[in-house]
Protein backbone atom coordinates (compact mmCIF):
# COMPACT_ATOMS: atom_id res chain seq x y z
CA UNK A 1 0.00 0.00 0.00
CA UNK A 2 1.33 3.43 -0.95
CA UNK A 3 1.88 5.78 1.97
CA UNK A 4 1.35 9.53 1.84
CA UNK A 5 5.09 10.03 2.33
CA UNK A 6 5.71 8.13 -0.91
CA UNK A 7 2.79 9.63 -2.83
CA UNK A 8 3.69 12.43 -5.27
CA UNK A 9 2.21 15.53 -3.70
CA UNK A 10 0.81 16.67 -7.04
CA UNK A 11 -1.81 13.93 -6.78
CA UNK A 12 -3.29 15.69 -3.77
CA UNK A 13 -2.80 19.21 -5.05
CA UNK A 14 -0.75 20.13 -2.00
CA UNK A 15 2.61 21.00 -3.47
CA UNK A 16 4.65 23.54 -5.33
CA UNK A 17 7.47 22.45 -7.64
CA UNK A 18 7.06 18.85 -6.55
CA UNK A 19 7.21 19.52 -2.80
CA UNK A 20 4.55 19.64 -0.13
CA UNK A 21 3.41 23.11 0.82
CA UNK A 22 4.05 23.42 4.52
CA UNK A 23 2.17 26.69 4.41
CA UNK A 24 -1.15 25.22 3.26
CA UNK A 25 -3.39 26.40 6.09
CA UNK A 26 -5.59 23.36 6.83
CA UNK A 27 -5.15 24.19 10.48
CA UNK A 28 -6.24 27.78 11.04
CA UNK A 29 -3.13 29.42 12.44
CA UNK A 30 -3.21 31.89 15.30
CA UNK A 31 -1.64 34.61 13.16
CA UNK A 32 -4.52 34.31 10.67
CA UNK A 33 -7.37 34.52 13.15
CA UNK A 34 -6.05 36.62 16.02
CA UNK A 35 -5.20 39.81 14.13
CA UNK A 36 -7.97 41.90 15.69
CA UNK A 37 -6.97 44.25 18.55
CA UNK A 38 -7.28 42.76 22.01
CA UNK A 39 -10.56 43.40 23.82
CA UNK A 40 -11.36 44.13 27.44
CA UNK A 41 -13.38 41.74 29.58
CA UNK A 42 -16.30 44.18 29.40
CA UNK A 43 -16.13 44.11 25.60
CA UNK A 44 -16.12 40.32 25.60
CA UNK A 45 -19.17 40.12 27.86
CA UNK A 46 -21.03 42.59 25.68
CA UNK A 47 -20.18 40.66 22.51
CA UNK A 48 -21.26 37.38 24.07
CA UNK A 49 -24.58 38.93 25.11
CA UNK A 50 -25.08 40.21 21.58
CA UNK A 51 -24.33 36.77 20.14
CA UNK A 52 -26.72 35.13 22.60
CA UNK A 53 -29.48 37.56 21.61
CA UNK A 54 -28.86 36.90 17.92
CA UNK A 55 -29.07 33.14 18.49
CA UNK A 56 -32.34 33.56 20.38
CA UNK A 57 -34.12 35.50 17.63
CA UNK A 58 -32.75 33.67 14.60
CA UNK A 59 -33.98 30.02 14.81
CA UNK A 60 -36.97 30.56 12.53
CA UNK A 61 -34.65 31.92 9.83
CA UNK A 62 -32.32 28.97 10.27
CA UNK A 63 -35.23 26.53 10.05
CA UNK A 64 -36.36 28.05 6.79
CA UNK A 65 -32.84 27.71 5.36
CA UNK A 66 -32.58 24.07 6.47
CA UNK A 67 -35.92 23.18 4.86
CA UNK A 68 -34.77 24.55 1.52
CA UNK A 69 -31.40 22.76 1.47
CA UNK A 70 -31.71 19.44 -0.34
CA UNK A 71 -28.49 17.93 1.05
CA UNK A 72 -28.56 19.71 4.41
CA UNK A 73 -26.75 18.01 7.26
CA UNK A 74 -28.86 16.53 10.03
CA UNK A 75 -30.37 19.22 12.24
CA UNK A 76 -28.77 19.12 15.69
CA UNK A 77 -29.71 21.52 18.48
CA UNK A 78 -27.10 24.22 18.89
CA UNK A 79 -25.58 23.75 15.43
CA UNK A 80 -26.08 25.12 11.93
CA UNK A 81 -25.68 23.16 8.67
CA UNK A 82 -23.37 23.90 5.77
CA UNK A 83 -23.85 22.20 2.41
CA UNK A 84 -21.61 22.72 -0.62
CA UNK A 85 -23.48 21.28 -3.60
CA UNK A 86 -20.67 22.16 -6.00
CA UNK A 87 -17.91 20.25 -4.20
CA UNK A 88 -20.20 17.69 -2.58
CA UNK A 89 -19.89 17.92 1.20
CA UNK A 90 -21.84 18.96 4.29
CA UNK A 91 -21.17 19.48 7.99
CA UNK A 92 -22.42 21.23 11.12
CA UNK A 93 -20.86 24.09 13.08
CA UNK A 94 -21.87 25.60 16.46
CA UNK A 95 -24.25 28.54 16.80
CA UNK A 96 -22.37 31.79 17.26
CA UNK A 97 -19.42 30.96 15.01
CA UNK A 98 -19.02 33.31 12.08
CA UNK A 99 -17.88 32.60 8.54
CA UNK A 100 -14.60 34.25 7.55
CA UNK A 101 -12.63 34.27 4.32
CA UNK A 102 -9.03 33.05 4.52
CA UNK A 103 -6.90 32.48 1.45
CA UNK A 104 -6.31 28.80 0.80
CA UNK A 105 -9.46 27.67 2.66
CA UNK A 106 -12.68 26.44 1.09
CA UNK A 107 -14.82 27.17 4.16
CA UNK A 108 -13.93 28.65 7.56
CA UNK A 109 -16.14 29.33 10.59
CA UNK A 110 -14.78 30.56 13.93
CA UNK A 111 -15.73 31.88 17.34
CA UNK A 112 -15.16 35.64 17.49
CA UNK A 113 -14.14 35.54 21.16
CA UNK A 114 -12.00 32.37 21.10
CA UNK A 115 -10.47 32.39 17.58
CA UNK A 116 -8.68 29.05 18.06
CA UNK A 117 -12.17 27.52 18.18
CA UNK A 118 -12.91 27.10 14.49
CA UNK A 119 -13.50 24.69 11.65
CA UNK A 120 -11.95 24.75 8.18
CA UNK A 121 -12.56 22.67 5.07
CA UNK A 122 -10.28 22.19 2.08
CA UNK A 123 -10.84 20.36 -1.17
CA UNK A 124 -8.10 19.29 -3.59
CA UNK A 125 -8.11 17.20 -6.79
CA UNK A 126 -6.76 13.64 -6.63
CA UNK A 127 -6.67 10.58 -8.85
CA UNK A 128 -7.16 8.21 -5.91
CA UNK A 129 -10.45 6.38 -5.41
CA UNK A 130 -10.40 5.99 -1.64
CA UNK A 131 -8.48 7.33 1.35
CA UNK A 132 -7.20 3.79 1.93
CA UNK A 133 -5.01 4.17 -1.17
CA UNK A 134 -2.81 6.59 0.78
CA UNK A 135 -2.01 4.27 3.69
CA UNK A 136 -3.31 3.42 7.15
CA UNK A 137 -5.08 6.03 9.31
CA UNK A 138 -1.98 6.48 11.45
CA UNK A 139 0.38 6.78 8.47
CA UNK A 140 -1.78 9.35 6.72
CA UNK A 141 -2.49 11.33 9.89
CA UNK A 142 1.18 11.56 10.87
CA UNK A 143 2.20 12.66 7.38
CA UNK A 144 -0.50 15.34 7.15
CA UNK A 145 0.24 16.72 10.60
CA UNK A 146 3.96 16.98 9.94
CA UNK A 147 3.80 18.18 6.34
CA UNK A 148 0.61 20.24 6.22
CA UNK A 149 -1.43 20.74 9.38
CA UNK A 150 1.19 22.40 11.57
CA UNK A 151 4.25 24.56 10.85
CA UNK A 152 7.70 23.03 11.44
CA UNK A 153 8.24 25.25 14.47
CA UNK A 154 5.40 23.60 16.39
CA UNK A 155 5.77 20.40 18.37
CA UNK A 156 3.02 17.97 17.38
CA UNK A 157 1.70 14.71 18.74
CA UNK A 158 -0.82 12.31 17.19
CA UNK A 159 -3.18 11.04 19.90
CA UNK A 160 -5.58 8.76 18.03
CA UNK A 161 -6.32 7.73 14.43
CA UNK A 162 -9.16 5.52 13.20
CA UNK A 163 -11.21 4.59 10.14
CA UNK A 164 -14.96 4.46 9.78
CA UNK A 165 -17.36 3.96 6.87
CA UNK A 166 -20.41 6.02 5.99
CA UNK A 167 -22.64 4.78 3.16
CA UNK A 168 -19.78 2.61 1.89
CA UNK A 169 -17.26 5.46 1.84
CA UNK A 170 -14.11 5.37 4.01
CA UNK A 171 -13.18 8.25 6.31
CA UNK A 172 -10.07 8.66 8.45
CA UNK A 173 -10.48 10.63 11.68
CA UNK A 174 -7.63 11.62 13.98
CA UNK A 175 -6.89 13.73 17.05
CA UNK A 176 -3.66 15.62 17.68
CA UNK A 177 -2.09 18.52 19.55
CA UNK A 178 0.18 21.24 18.16
CA UNK A 179 2.25 23.21 20.64
CA UNK A 180 3.37 26.76 19.84
CA UNK A 181 5.36 29.06 22.15
CA UNK A 182 2.25 30.86 23.41
CA UNK A 183 -0.55 28.31 23.02
CA UNK A 184 -1.36 24.64 22.47
CA UNK A 185 -4.07 23.73 20.01
CA UNK A 186 -6.03 20.51 20.45
CA UNK A 187 -7.47 19.50 17.10
CA UNK A 188 -9.59 16.91 15.32
CA UNK A 189 -9.46 16.16 11.60
CA UNK A 190 -11.46 13.97 9.27
CA UNK A 191 -10.47 13.21 5.66
CA UNK A 192 -12.02 11.34 2.76
CA UNK A 193 -11.81 10.93 -1.00
CA UNK A 194 -14.68 11.08 -3.49
CA UNK A 195 -15.72 12.86 -6.69
CA UNK A 196 -12.05 12.89 -7.71
CA UNK A 197 -11.31 15.14 -4.71
CA UNK A 198 -9.41 14.93 -1.43
CA UNK A 199 -11.46 16.45 1.42
CA UNK A 200 -10.20 17.50 4.82
CA UNK A 201 -12.08 19.09 7.70
CA UNK A 202 -10.15 20.29 10.76
CA UNK A 203 -11.58 21.75 13.95
CA UNK A 204 -10.09 22.47 17.34
CA UNK A 205 -9.66 24.70 20.37
CA UNK A 206 -7.08 26.04 22.76
CA UNK A 207 -5.95 23.21 25.06
CA UNK A 208 -7.17 25.13 28.10
CA UNK A 209 -10.75 24.95 26.73
CA UNK A 210 -10.61 21.42 25.34
CA UNK A 211 -12.61 19.91 28.20
CA UNK A 212 -15.45 22.35 27.57
CA UNK A 213 -15.36 22.15 23.77
CA UNK A 214 -14.52 18.52 22.95
CA UNK A 215 -18.14 17.32 22.71
CA UNK A 216 -19.07 20.14 20.33
CA UNK A 217 -15.97 19.58 18.21
CA UNK A 218 -16.66 15.85 18.02
CA UNK A 219 -20.16 16.68 16.78
CA UNK A 220 -18.63 18.82 14.03
CA UNK A 221 -16.27 16.00 13.01
CA UNK A 222 -18.96 13.32 13.07
CA UNK A 223 -21.30 15.47 10.96
CA UNK A 224 -18.91 15.74 8.01
CA UNK A 225 -20.20 13.85 4.97
CA UNK A 226 -19.35 13.86 1.28
CA UNK A 227 -21.85 13.04 -1.44
CA UNK A 228 -21.73 12.42 -5.18
CA UNK A 229 -21.93 15.46 -7.46
What is the assigned CATH class of domain 9-226? alpha beta
Per DSSP, the residues of 161-189 read EEEEEETTEEEEEEEEEEE-SS-EEEEEE
41 versus 138: which is more confidently predicted?
138
Work out the average pLDDT over 127-150: 95
200 versus 22: which is more confidently predicted?
200
Give the pLDDT of residue 56: 43
d(Cα 224, Cα 119) in Å, to the nearest integer?
A: 11
DSSP E strands, the chain: 15-16, 19-20, 79-84, 89-94, 98-99, 107-110, 118-125, 155-166, 169-179, 184-194, 197-206, 225-226
Work out the average pLDDT over 13-24: 45
d(Cα 106, Cα 104) in Å, to the nearest integer?
A: 7
Q: What is the pLDDT of residues 73-131, one digit of tens each?
A: 457 899 999 999 999 999 999 999 999 999 889 999 999 999 999 999 999 999 999 99
Amino acid sequence: MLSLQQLPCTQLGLCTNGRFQKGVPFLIRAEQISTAPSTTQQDKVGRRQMLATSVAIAPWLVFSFQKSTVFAAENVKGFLPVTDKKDGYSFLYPFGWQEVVIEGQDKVFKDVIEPLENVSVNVFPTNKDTIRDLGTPQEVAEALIKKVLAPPSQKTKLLTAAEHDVDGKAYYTFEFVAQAPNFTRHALSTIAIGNGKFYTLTTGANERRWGKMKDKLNTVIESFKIFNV
